[in-house]
Amino acid sequence: MPVHNSDIAEIFNRIADLLDIKGDNPFRIRAYREAARTVAELSASLAEMVHAGEDLTRLPGIGKELAAKILEMVDSDSLSFLRRLEEEVPGGLVDLLRISGLGPRKVRALYRELGITSLAGLREAVKQEKVRQLEGFGAKTELNIGEELERLAASEQRLKLATAMEIAAPLLAYLRQTAGVLQVEIAGSYRRRKETIGDLDILVTHAENARVMQRLVDYEEVEKVVSQGATRCTVLLRSGVQVDLRAVGQESYGAALHYFTGSRAHNIAVRRMAVKKKLKINEYGVFKDGQRIAGRTEEEVYQQVGLPFIPPELRENRGEIEAAARGELPRLLTLRDIRGDLHAHTTRSDGQAGLEAMARAAGQRGYEYLAITEHARLVTPANGLDADGLRAHIRDIDRLNERLDGILLLKGVEVDILEDGSLDLDDDILRELDFTVCSVHSHFNLSRRKQTERIIRAMDKRYFRILGHPGGRLINQRPPYEVDMEELIAAAAQRKRFLECNANPDRLDLNATYLKLAREMGVKVAVSTDAHSVKALAHMDFGVWQARRGWLAADDVLNTRPWPELKLLLNS
C-alpha cells in the first residue's frame, strides 16, 4: 500500500506526543514536530522521492536519523521505533492530548494515578468522578473534560479538508485514466470546500461499457467493497474514508452535480422554487410534465428557477438564493486577486526557511509583498523575539530589501495578547514596524466575558492592527476559545481594526459565518497563510476557499491591494 505524506507526518507527531508524555528532551520533541510539519507541507510525495533514490536530508529539518525512519516507513508501512516507544508509553495516551486543557503532565498523572490509557478509560473515570480527586484537577476541570469528550466523539468521523484532498487527488487521477470516462468530479462538502469532510461523493459520466465501477473496486487503497452495481459503487478506503461513486448520463450530469453538491438546505430551497414554477428537480434533471427540459449543466438547473449560477462555496442556504434572485451575489475572491501574504515566519523564530528563501518563494508566486511576522517573546517554544532581537531582525529585512527585485518584505510581528489585554511588546518597538498581527496564544480557558474584554482591550492599543486566528481553534484538535465574536467584530469596526482569515488547513479561522458577518459590518480581512515554510505559502488556496465560503469579494480583503494603498489603509 502507498504511504502518504500525511501518514508519515502523523507518525512523527505521534512520536513527539509520546516523547512529550514521557518527559523526554524538549529539543528532541521539537525536532519531530518540525519534521512532521516539513512532511505535511511537502508538495512532492515522499514515497516517490524514496523510490527515486532522492536525498531526503536536503529537506528542512530532516537529518540522517529521520531520513532513515522515513525510508523504513515507506518500505514497510511501519516504524520499529514507534512500536518500541508504545511499549514504554501506551499509545492511547496520545488521544488524551486532544482534550483541551490536558497537557503532557496531566496526561502522565491520569496514567500513573488512575491507570487511564484511552479516551474510553477517561470517559469512564469522568463518569465515576475520579478525575476531580487528583491534585491539580478539580470538579470544574473534570466537567470541562467531559464536555470535550462529547465534542471529540462528534467530530471523530470527519477529515480536515487538506487530508481529504491528499486522499482524493490520486483517486481522481486514477479514475480519470479509465478508458471511456468523460467527466469526473467530487461533489458534496468537498466541493463546497467545507473545513471537514465526512466522505467522498464522486460523479462520473462515461461511454457505454466503461468499467469504471470495477476500476474503483480494483483501486489499491480499497479495504472493503460495501456494494457494487452498474451505476453505483461504495467502498471503504484503508484510511477509513467512504467513497460513493455514481455514474450518470451526460444529459443529467449538471443536475446530479447540483443535487450531490448540496447542501441539503440549499437544494430544498431551490426545489421549492421549482415547485412554484410547476417543475420538478432531482438528480436526473429538471422536468416539466414528465419531460426533461434541463440538467446537462448546473447553469441550466439554476436558469430554470430564474437564478444565476451560485458558486458551490455559497450553497448553505445562508441568504445566497435571495441574493442571487436580486442580482446581488458578490464576485467572490480568487487566488488571482491576492497580491501578497501578511503573516509568515522564518527561522528567526519557529519557521523552517530563511528570509531570502521565503521572499523569493513569494516572488515566484507573483506576490508584490510578503510580511514577515515572527513570534514575540512570550512564545518561548517558538523562539519568540524580544525588542532587541526584533530590531536586529528589522535591520536584516531592510538590508535584504535593498537587493531584492520584484518583491518587498514587510516588517511585522505576531505579538501576543496577554491575559490583561496588553501586548507582549512595547510601543517603542512596535512603532518601527509596518503593522502587527496580534494573537491569543495562552489562557484559552478564560470565561466568554473575560476573553472578549481581553481582546477588545488589546484592540484599543495604539499599534494593534490585525487580530490573528481570531477564534483560536485547531480543527479536530482544539475548539475555539469562548468569546463573543459578534462583539469582537463590532469592536473592530468601531476601532478600524482588521481580522485575519488564517489559511493554515489546521485553523481556517475565522469560520465562514463570522467572515460573512465581518463583511456585513464593514471589517476588512487579511487572508494570510501563517506560513512557517516555503511550501506553506501554497496554503493560500485554503484561505481563498474559506474567504469565498464567507462571501468575501476582493474589496473585502486587505491583501488584494498594492502596498501603497494597503499601507494607507493600515495606518488610517
Q: In whole angstroms, what is the distance from residue 464 CA to residue 1 CA?
A: 50
Q: In whole angstroms, what is the distance from residue 555 CA to residue 532 CA?
A: 27
Residues of the chain above pLDDT 70, percent? 98
Output the CA angle 482-375-499, nearest 5 degrees: 45
Preceding amide of 189 cis, omega within 30: no
Mean pLDDT of 543-557: 98
When the candidates are 3.20.20.140, 3.40.50.800, 3.30.465.10, 3.40.50.720, the CATH number that belongs to 335-570 is 3.20.20.140
Predicted pLDDT of residue 254: 97
Instruction: Determine whether 114 is exposed, middle or buried from the number of CB atoms within 10 Å of its CB (0-12, 13-18, 19+).
Output: middle
Mean pLDDT of 365-382: 86
Mean pLDDT of 297-303: 97
250-283 pLDDT, tens digit each: 999 999 999 999 999 999 999 999 999 999 999 9
Q: Which residue has the higher pLDDT, 157 or 313?
A: 313
Residue 530 CB partners (closer than 8 Å, separation 6+): 343, 344, 345, 468, 469, 502, 503, 504, 507, 536, 539
The answer to whether 3 and 74 have CB atoms below 8 angstroms apart is: yes
Q: Which residue has the higher pLDDT, 380 or 572?
A: 572
Residue 30 CB partners (closer than 8 Å, separation 6+): 16, 381
Identical fold between 159-247 and 252-325: no
Which residue type is seen at 411?
K
Residue 240 — pLDDT band, cuts 50, 70, 90? Answer: confident
Residue 249 CB partners (closer than 8 Å, separation 6+): 205
Model confidence at 1: pLDDT above 70: no
Q: Which residue has the higher pLDDT, 249 or 147?
A: 249
The answer to whether 212 and 203 have CB atoms below 8 angstroms apart is: no
Which helix (H) or strand (E) segment holds residue 437: the answer is strand 437-439
Upper half-sphere CA count for residue 313 (Cβ side, 13 Å):
24
Task: Determine the topology of domain 159-247 in CATH.
Answer: Beta Polymerase; domain 2 (3.30.460)
Mean pLDDT of 326-344: 98
Mean pLDDT of 561-572: 96
Instruction: Determine whether 525 is exposed, middle or buried from the number of CB atoms within 10 Å of its CB (0-12, 13-18, 19+).
Output: buried
479-500 pLDDT, tens digit each: 899 999 999 999 999 999 999 9
Which helix (H) or strand (E) segment holds residue 205: the answer is strand 200-206
Q: In whole angstroms, what is the distance from residue 371 CA to residue 339 CA?
A: 12
Q: Which residue has the higher pLDDT, 464 or 22?
A: 464
Q: In whole angstroms, what is the distance from residue 158 CA to residue 162 CA?
A: 12
As a three-state string, the secondary structure of 220-249 is CCEEEEEEECCCEEEEEECCCCEEEEEECC
Looking at 53-57, 416-420, 543-547, which range is the least confident one? 53-57
φ/ψ region of 451 (left if φ > 0, alpha if ψ in -120 to 50, else beta) reads: alpha
Mean pLDDT of 124-145: 89
Instruction: Using only the alpha carbons of the chain, give its radius of gyration.
Output: 25
Model confidence at 152: pLDDT above 80: no
Model confidence at 382: pLDDT above 70: no
Quote the mean pLDDT of the chain. 92
Task: Determine the topology of domain 5-155 in CATH.
Answer: DNA polymerase; domain 1 (1.10.150)
Predicted pLDDT of residue 103: 83
Looking at 12-21, 93-102, 374-383, which range is the least confident one? 374-383
Count H helices, E strands: the chain? 24, 17
Predicted pLDDT of residue 149: 85
CA distances from 94 to 104, 317, 433 (A): 9, 38, 40
Residue 94 — pLDDT band, cuts 50, 70, 90? Answer: confident
Q: In whole angstroms, what is the distance from residue 488 CA to residue 495 CA?
A: 10
Task: For 252-325, give the CATH class.
Answer: alpha beta
Strands (E) located in 484-524 = 498-502
Model confidence at 326: pLDDT above 90: yes
Residues of the chain above pLDDT 90, percent? 71
DSSP class of residue 344? B
Predicted pLDDT of residue 414: 97
Mean pLDDT of 538-552: 98
Mean pLDDT of 202-219: 90
Predicted pLDDT of residue 156: 58
Residue 213, classed as helix, strand or coil, is: helix
Residue 534 — pLDDT band, cuts 50, 70, 90? Answer: very high
Q: In whole angstroms, what is the distance from residue 44 CA to residue 403 CA?
A: 31
Q: For residue 142, give the C-alpha cell.
A: 473534570
Ordered by start, the domain boundaries in the chain are: 5-155, 159-247, 252-325, 335-570
The answer to whether 490 and 458 have CB atoms below 8 angstroms apart is: no
Q: In whole angstroms, what is the distance from residue 502 CA to residue 387 CA?
A: 25
Q: Give which of 543, 485, 39 is closest to 338, Cα–Cα.
A: 543
Predicted pLDDT of residue 239: 87
Model confidence at 128: pLDDT above 70: yes
Predicted pLDDT of residue 404: 95
Residue 154 — pLDDT band, cuts 50, 70, 90? Answer: low
